[in-house]
Amino acid sequence: MASTSQFDVAKLFGAKHLVAVVTGGIGLMATQALSANGARVYITGRRVEALENAAKTHQPSSGGGQIIPLGPCDVTKKEDLEKLVAEVGEKEKCINLLICNAGVSGPKAEPDGGDAEDLRAKLWDNESVDEWDDTFRGDVTSVYFTTVAFLPLLQAAVRPKGDQEPFAASVITISSMSGLMRHAQGHFSYNAAKGATIHLTKLMSSEFQKAGIRVNSIAPGYFPSEMTAKSSDDNQKSHVAPDKIQEKGHVPLQRAGREEEMGMTVLYLAKNQYVNGQIIAVDGGVLNVIAGS
Q: Write the CA distances from 200 to 133, 237, 239, integer angstroms.
A: 17, 29, 30
Task: Report the first-to-last Cα separation within the chain, whole angstroms.
Answer: 48
Q: 41: closest CA among 23, 25, 20, 55?
A: 20
Model confidence pLDDT, tens digit, residues 39-95: 999 999 888 888 888 889 999 987 789 999 998 999 999 999 999 999 999 999 999
- Confidence check: pLDDT of 139 > 60: yes
64/26 Cα distance (integer angstroms): 22
3-state secondary structure the chain: CCCCHHHCHHHHHCCCCCEEEEECCCHHHHHHHHHHCCCEEEEECCCHHHHHHHHHHHCCCCCCCEEEECCCCCCCCHHHHHHHHHHHHHHCCCCCEEEECCCCCCCCCCCCCCCHHHHHHHHHHHCCHHHHHHHHHHHHHHHHHHHHHHHHHHHCCCCCCCCCCCCCCEEEEECCHHHCECCCCCCHHHHHHHHHHHHHHHHHHHHHHHHCCEEEEEEECCCCCHHHHCCCCCCCCCCCCHHHHHCCCCCCCCCCCCHHHHHHHHHHHHHCCCCCCCEEEECCCHHHHCCEC
85/149 Cα distance (integer angstroms): 7
Using CA atoms in the order 116, 107, 133, 73, what is the torsion angle rounded to 10 degrees? -170
97/100 Cα distance (integer angstroms): 10
Q: With cut-offs at 50, 70 and 90, classify the pLDDT of residue 226.
A: low
Contact 58, 32 (CB under 8 A): yes
260/154 Cα distance (integer angstroms): 26
Domain that holds residue 55: 5-289
Tell me how many domains the chain contains.
Answer: 1
| Bridge partner list, 68 | 42
140/146 Cα distance (integer angstroms): 10
225/31 Cα distance (integer angstroms): 14
Model confidence pLDDT, tens digit, residues 177-212: 999 999 888 889 999 999 999 999 999 999 999 999
pLDDT of residue 110: 84
Model confidence pLDDT, tens digit, residues 152-178: 999 999 976 555 555 579 999 999 999
Q: CA geometry: angle at 81 spanning 277 and 35, to 5°? A: 65
- Mind telling me the catalytic residues? 175, 190, 194
- CATH code, domain with 105: 3.40.50.720
pTM confidence score: 0.92
Q: CA 68: distance to chain centroid?
A: 18
Q: With cut-offs at 50, 70 and 90, classify the pLDDT of residue 224.
A: confident
